[in-house]
Amino acid sequence: MVYVRVQTTTVTAGVQRFFMCKKCGFDSPVVVEARGQGQSLSDFQGRPLADQRAKLALEQDTQCMLDMVPCPQCGARKNVATHHRRALVLSLLTVPLIIGGSLLLAALLMPARSISLQIGLCVWAGFSLVAGGAMYLRHFADRRRAPDAVQFLPLEKA
């Protein structure tokens, strides 16, 4: 029996950044409540590698929350958030449909004697659709969390 030791580090921090809206020019210091999680399977350097990955995930979450939070004056989001949202929706609608549809078509065109291959293709088609839906739900969970995760500070507290 093989045992694998997984090192997991979770980091939650209030990161101070500066928010600036390109549309209306509003700027303010903000505190972003970000979180990151890192894992490592290495026995030799497991903890430092997990810590490093958690810090990187924390930095990515901070930037993601800043990109997704709407401006308190005009309500606009950064162009990056709009681009990510459009790209994500497009990929989540097309990639699973292409993969799932082609696998189902291949399963239907197979001869009846290879039923196990048909079942396998149907399972992979379902998996691609479920994975696409999970990514889609995670994206919208981040969007719902963004307004609560970013706290705008008055200029005198900066």
pTM comes to: 0.62
In a domain, 30, yes or no: yes
Q: Structural domain of residue 147, as residue ranges? A: 7-157
- Residue ranges, the chain, pLDDT below 50: 157-158
Domain total for the chain?
1
CA atoms within 13 A on the CB side of 27: 6
Helix (H) or strand (E) holding 64: helix 46-68
DSSP 156: G
Directed axis angle between helix 115-149 and helix 46-68, to 10°? 70
Per-residue confidence (pLDDT) for residue 55, from 0 to 100: 93
**121 found inside a domain:** yes
- 73-104 confidence digits (pLDDT tens): 888 877 665 556 666 666 666 676 677 677 77
Confirm whether 1 is domain-assigned: no
Give me 148's structure tokens.
């609560």
**pLDDT at site 30:** 92
What pLDDT shows up at residue 97?
64
Cα separation values, 24 from 14, 17, 88, 105, Å: 26, 19, 26, 50
Gyration radius (Cα) of the chain, Å: 22
2 inside domain: no
